[in-house]
Structure 1
Amino acid sequence: MKIVIDARFTRTDHHDGISRYGASLIAAVAPLADVTMLISDEHQLALLPDVPYLKINSPLSPRELFVARQVNRLDPDVVFCPMQTMGSWGRRYALVLTLHDLIYYEHPAPPGFLPAPVRVLWRLYHKAYWPQRLLLNRADVVATISRTTEALMHRHQLTKRPVRIVGNAPQADRMPRNPGTAPEKTLIYMGSFMPYKNVETLIRGMAELDGFALHLLSRITEPRRTELELLIPTGAEVIFHNGVSDAEYDELLLRTTALVTLSKAEGYGLPLVEAMALGTPVVVSDTPIFREVGGTAASYVPADSPAAFASQVRKLADPAVWSQCSVDSVRQAARFSWADSARELLDIATELTYQR
């Protein structure tokens, strides 16, 4: 069976969520099938596994409308795209498109790294559901990464196609920390600084966490940093890293008290499961997706309550409470694996191949 996986959403400098998802899935599926990946920039190869590839146009190019002409030359049985925007006119293969979340219908501000014309189209696109339906119904199967998003897709009747879970997961072969070793009095946040991420409440909560330091790890623009710095309570310690490497991220996770996020919307919440896999407890907003990923291991608080957030962090200062949360976190994270996701994709590919 020949599977082509679209890797053109891979970053060239460091992974974001979509980039890591695609690269990890390729690495998991490649030993099990004949896999070729699509790229649009050879610099993407630095963050991708060593798999045969074809370089084609960017997914943001007008040529994307006719991309199937190039992909048809590979004679694939199934093409998997980790997004829903891949062109499909004239395709001679089964197609699986992916919808990760519906965040931008509720929070329509587009990512700042997109070109200005794309940002305008982004806002227009998310004003109604019918454009999404048109995109998804071009596929033979639609994939998503969580039961939470699957339920939302059914609620809004986003596609007539079968919906299947090809889940996200932490990176494998990472040794959890010793739950008997006391953590540092630090908290870490990994994620963007878009408004729905609600970093403001984390910062306000530091007013009641004397002795703790909050580390904000992701890259941030200077204007946004200035906005957030004005919110730091007097005497609180909030540190902006403006980006960290994967090694630095793991090193911080292995010594911090908890990973924290009060985001109001997520498609999955990869930082949660990354932290839990290393035995680091998580304190998160009480949302359906975080309940799905965090299970009984996570600590949940109302998204807009700095006081509740601070109270939950203080509970983790108890060594016995922290140690039990660490053990529970590792157990919960083990429910998610790239091996399972690879098997699900192969099951989908097998079914589609028999149908054609």
Structure 2
Amino acid sequence: MDKNSAVSRYFLDVLYREYFYLKKDKSPKKNWLRDFFFKRMLELYWSITRVIGLGFLHDGRRQTTNRVDQILRQRPSIPQSSCIQTPEHGRMLIDVTSTHLSGKETGIQRVVKEIAFAGAEMGAALPILRIEDRFFPYFRNAVSSDSIELRPGDILLLLDAPAADLESYSAAMKAVRSLGGHNVVCIYDLLPKTIPWSFSPEQLQHYEGWFRAIVCESDAAVCISESVAHELKAHLTGLPQPVRMPVGWFQLGGNFRYCKTLPVGADVAAIARTSSPFFLSVGTLEPRKGYHISLDAMEELWRQGIDAHFVIVGRYGWMSDVLQRRILEHEEHGKRLHWLQNANDAELHCLYSSAHALVFASIAEGFGLPIIEAANDGLPVIASDIPIFREVGGKNISYFSALDSSDLARKLLEALTKERQSQKIEVPGWKQSTQQLLDMVRTQSYQLK
């Protein structure tokens, strides 16, 4: 069986199990009479408040104002020693709106926050939020003004452009271009196009709309790996109406900025202190992450009487109901199988520092940030043998045949016979990574013209 057939078979198996899990799930019937009565009362409330002049309570005017104020109050600060330069021409505006509003701390959001902080700290960029068609500074103490007006020559760097506000962002991009500026979009992967069967129809629809409105209308694109850059370039030139734009790539950082200021919970501290070795996996629970493969390999070790723990750090994702149930109902859950859904940077750093090895069983990635983060803490890596991991890890990590749980089990057993050995992957800091990105964008020195 060739690689493509094996991947297809794996995803079909996951979808098959998810389908029958959902089919057996019996949702409670709705109380239609209660819902009907509630809707009629709500309509009466709307009518009365409009008549007496209190329509602002529910027509969105007050909520919009409150929402903006609330979002602005939740902005972080930067050290007073930092000085963001705001020249009259050619500012670097880094949009971080989607990341800030999501409240997530997963891979992309961590990248966006680190680049925003490093860019502001160096005084080389102004991170911004776009709310209700207006721009605001992301850091509350970054500049004297609490709103940002576009200037001639501004560069809008879309690190995490949302798919839910395309009309507003399209207007912003046109405004930037009308003032002689440039729009640059960051691409983390093309997985919805390369492995569409691992995403829901709604996700694919949103991605396609975002790709047409944001990516195809940008002046340039930056990618987080060389592999993604070449994939993007090939896709753009292969469209029915080819899109000609320069494409570049930069290397992500691997250090944790906030790990010294955040607390480490008792559950994480207990795992780190355990006398038994433990393997660590980091990433959202979703089909392409290969968690079923990792669990199969760990179960093989447990059947052989090997006393090793498996720690999963990642939130519940899509098409993973069966995987979630498998973890929570596993006889080793809470004993030698641990699932941490909300680990902060300090806890993740603690686990990287204490684990025996990182297990990365993904079959498709845009980069593989956990490899770099593990290397930053000297943690060995056992990863599936896919091209992007070869690009990131080179000869410095151990590989197993993708989707082969038996081969992974052999690699785990091999790792347990050795002392933990530090990796030799060169890991840049976030300042170095951000400087590389901003220099490339400002000088337009993209690798693929």
Q: Indicate the TM-score class for this superposition, using the shorter chain for normalisation.
A: 0.7 to 0.9
Q: 1:134 to 1:198 in 2, by over 3 A?
A: same
Is the counterpart of residue 22 in structure 1 residue 139 in structure 2? Answer: no
Mapped pair 1:342 → 2:424: no
Establish whether residue 167 from structure 1 lines up as the match of residue 251 from structure 2. yes
Matched, 1:142 2:221: yes
- Given the alignment, which residue of 307, 315, 326 partners 1:211? 307
Q: What is the CA–CA distance in structure 2 between the aligned matches of 1:205 and 1:304, rounded to whole Å? A: 10
CA distance in 1, matches of 2:140, 2:397: 32
8 A Cα contact 1:203 1:231, kept in partner: no
* Structure 2 residue 167 is the aligned partner of structure 1 residue 90: no
Alpha-carbon distance between aligned partners in 1 of 2:210 and 2:277, rounded to the nearest angstrom? 47
Task: Number of aligned residue pairs: give it.
Answer: 313
Separation (CA, whole Å) in 1 of partners of 2:357 and 2:188: 26
Counterparts of 1:277 and 1:311, CA distance in 2: 25
Q: Cα distance 1:83–1:241, how it changes in 2: closer, same or farther (>3 A)?
A: closer
For the Cα contact (< 8 Å) 1:198–1:262, is it kept in 2? Answer: yes
Matched to 1:122, the amino acid is Q
* Aligned residue number for residue 62 of structure 1: none
Deviations 1:11-68 (A, max 9, x none): 4544122211111112222244453222257xxx9x9796449888xxxxxxxxxxxx
**Equivalent residue for 2:41?**
none
Query: Relative to structure 1, is the Cα distance of residues 232 and 161 closer, same or farther in structure 2, using a 3 angstrom cutoff?
Result: farther
Bigger CA radius of gyration: 2
The verdict on how the C-alpha distance between 1:299 and 1:293 changes in structure 2, with shifts beyond 3 A counting, is same
- Whether 1:351 aligns to 2:439 is no
Q: Distance in 1 between matches of 2:414 and 2:276?
A: 14
**Residue in structure 2 matched with residue 124 of structure 1 by the alignment:** 205
Cα deviation digits, residues 86-131 of structure 1 (max 9, x gap): 42223222111111101122443788xxxxxxx755323557xx97
Instruction: Give the Cα separation in 1 of the matches to 2:105 and 2:332.
Output: 32
Q: CA deviation at 1:212?
A: 1.0
Q: TM-score, normalised by structure 1?
A: 0.75
> Hey, what's the Cα distance between the residues in 2 that align with 1:53 and 1:196?
45
Secondary structure of 2:343 counterpart: coil
Alpha-carbon shift at residue 163 of structure 1 (Å): 0.5
**Which residue of 2 is the match for residue 81 of structure 1?**
158
Aligned partners of 2:356 and 2:380 also within 8 Å: yes
Residue of structure 2 in register with 1:2 after alignment: 91
Cα distance per residue 1:287-315 (max 9 Å; x no partner): 11111111111111112111111111111
Q: Which has the higher helix share?
A: 2
Query: Alignment identity in percent?
Result: 21
Counterpart in the other structure of 1:104: 192
Q: Cα 1:291–1:39, aligned 2, differ >3 Å: closer, same or farther?
A: same
What is the match of residue 192 of structure 1?
A: 284
SS of aligned partner of 2:248: strand
Quote the Cα distance in structure 1 between the aligned partners of 2:360 and 2:124.
39
TM-score, normalised to structure 2, is: 0.61
Give matches, 1:18-57, under 5 Å: 18-39=108-129, 51-52=142-143
Distance 1:188 1:50 in 2: 38
What does 1:182-331 correspond to in 2, within 5 Å?
Answer: 184-209=276-301, 210-220=306-316, 223=321, 224-229=323-328, 237-319=336-418, 322-323=420-421, 326=422, 329=423, 331=424
Paired with 2:436 and 2:214, the residues of 1 have a C-alpha distance of 22
Structure 1 equivalent of residue 12 of structure 2: none
Query: What letter matches 1:313 in structure 2?
Result: L
Inter-partner Cα distance in structure 2 for 1:77 and 1:98:
17
Q: What letter is aligned with 1:23?
A: K
Distance 1:275-1:232 versus aligned 2 partners, 3 A rule: farther
Cα drift, residue 171 of structure 1: 1.8
Quick one: distance in 2 between partners of 1:4 and 1:126?
A: 23
> What amino acid sits opposite 1:350 in the alignment?
R
Kept in 2, the 8 Å contact 1:94–1:352? The answer is no
Q: Cα distance 1:232–1:268, how it changes in 2: closer, same or farther (>3 A)?
A: farther
Letter in 2 for 1:77: D
The aligned amino acid for 1:3 is: M
SS at match of 2:383: strand
Greater displacement, 8-17 / 286-295? 8-17
